[in-house]
Amino acid sequence: MTTTDLNSIRPTPILLDCDPGHDDAIALVMAHRSKAIDLLGVTVTCGNAEPEKTVSNTLRILEFIGAQDVPVAAGCVRPLARPLVLGTADGPSGLEGSPYLPQATKTVEPMHAVDFIAKTLREQTEPLRIVATGPLCNLGLFVLKYPELLSKIKDITWMGGVFWRKSEYITPTEFNAFCDPEALKIVLDSGVPITMVGLDVTMKVLVEEPQYREFEKIDTELGRVVLDWLKFYEKLHRNSMGVGGALHDPLALALIIDPTLVKTRPAHIGVDLTGTYTFGATVADYWNERGLPPNAQVCEEVDSDRFFDLLYSLLRD
């Protein structure tokens, strides 16, 4: 095997910024189990639950999957300019349905998440990829505090936003954008390349009967825990939208492993900050009517079957 071949199979180092959250939890599991990914650290934000719960959930998930060596840094305890609005899909703990997760033996890094991101970027010789699966509080604050390090971020794959469909809120907003729209604006304006994995595609990766049957065949402790997470997680989706659980965050993570799962389109995207009912709504200038350069690749189509095949294989192998 040549040197080039060896390089081509080097796992991609990433940082994951998240707010577990059942779907964040599955993204964490995928990041740890995929040989294509080197998970350098996890930074945690508020969002699906209060910050102490999302941090505790992260530590417990990592303990359960044997990833105690992955550093975890706690971040923002509220959005940059607004009071915290909690997500609704994951129950009071942010991870209901998993009472048997072990208590964590590890603790968080002795620094704020944004300082941990800065430290990690400085240690890298190559620009680093970041996957963000929660409100962008941490990354927004990072942009403000460390503008000199932005060139060390290769790109941000962000789960959030929506363009074409009405979301779970009455306004056309998606939770991660709605929770901290100011942070989102700061990140969008930062010049860092962004892939936006919005509800337009994530609402097409739904766990329905055929998927449940496949998850049930995964006869491991991890497979059973993920199935229990999914059963809790589906409740809100089923009751309010009449569909199974949407695997938003796992899809964003999966794009590091296989970017061909989606089709993207470049666009300048922005976020509304002032609308009485529409703050947090993302807008895309698809026809470049304002003459602004694209700041994101927007996911428009997804191959849901191939996504699920990837997820099953990561849980099984």
Residues within the interface to ligand BDR (CB under 6 A) = 21, 23-24, 48, 87, 89, 133-134, 159, 174-176, 248-249
Residues near Ca ion, by CB under 5 A: 19, 21, 24, 133-134, 249
* Smallest separation, CB 78 to ligand BDR (Å): 16
**Residue 272: contacted member of Ca ion, ligand BDR, none (CB under 5 to 8 Å, by partner type):** none
Q: Which does 46 bind (CB under 5 to 8 A by kind): ligand BDR, Ca ion, none?
A: none
CB of 199 to Ca ion, least distance (A): 12
Helix boundaries (H) for 94-206: 113-123, 137-145, 175-179, 181-188, 199-202
User: Residue 89's binding partner, choosing from ligand BDR, Ca ion, none, with beta-carbon cut-off 5 to 8 A by kind?
Assistant: ligand BDR
Instruction: Tell me whether residue 118 or residue 181 sits nearer to ligand BDR (CB atom).
Output: 181
Choosing from 22, 32, 112, 248, the catalytic residue is 248
Q: Which residues of 167-200 are buried (b: 16+ CB within 10 A; e: fewer)?
A: bbbeebbbbbbbbbbbbbbbbbebebbbbbbbbb
- Residue 175 Cβ vs ligand BDR, minimum distance, rounded to whole Å: 4
Q: DSSP letters along 84-122, please?
A: ----SSS-TTSSTT-TTSPPPS----SS-HHHHHHHHHH
Nearer to Ca ion, 174 or 249 (CB): 249
Our CB check for ligand BDR shows the closer of 71 and 87 to be 87
Residue nearest to ligand BDR (CB): 175
Listed in sequence order, the residues at least 6 apart from 70 whose beta carbon sits closer than 8 Å to its beta carbon are: 32, 39, 40, 41, 42, 62
Which option in ligand BDR, Ca ion, none does residue 58 bind, with CB closer than 5 to 8 A by kind? none
Question: From CA 170, how far away is CA 240, in angstroms rounded?
Answer: 12
Tokens of 226: 């993920």
Tokens of 211: 């998927």
For residues 270 and 293, is the Cβ–Cβ distance under 8 A?
no
Is 32 assigned a catalytic role?
no
Indicate the residue among 131 and 152 with the shorter CB distance to Ca ion: 131
Min dist CB 130 to ligand BDR, Å, is 15
- Which residues lie closer than 8 Å to 118 by C-beta, 6 or more apart? 142, 145, 146, 149
* Catalytic sites, residue numbers: 248
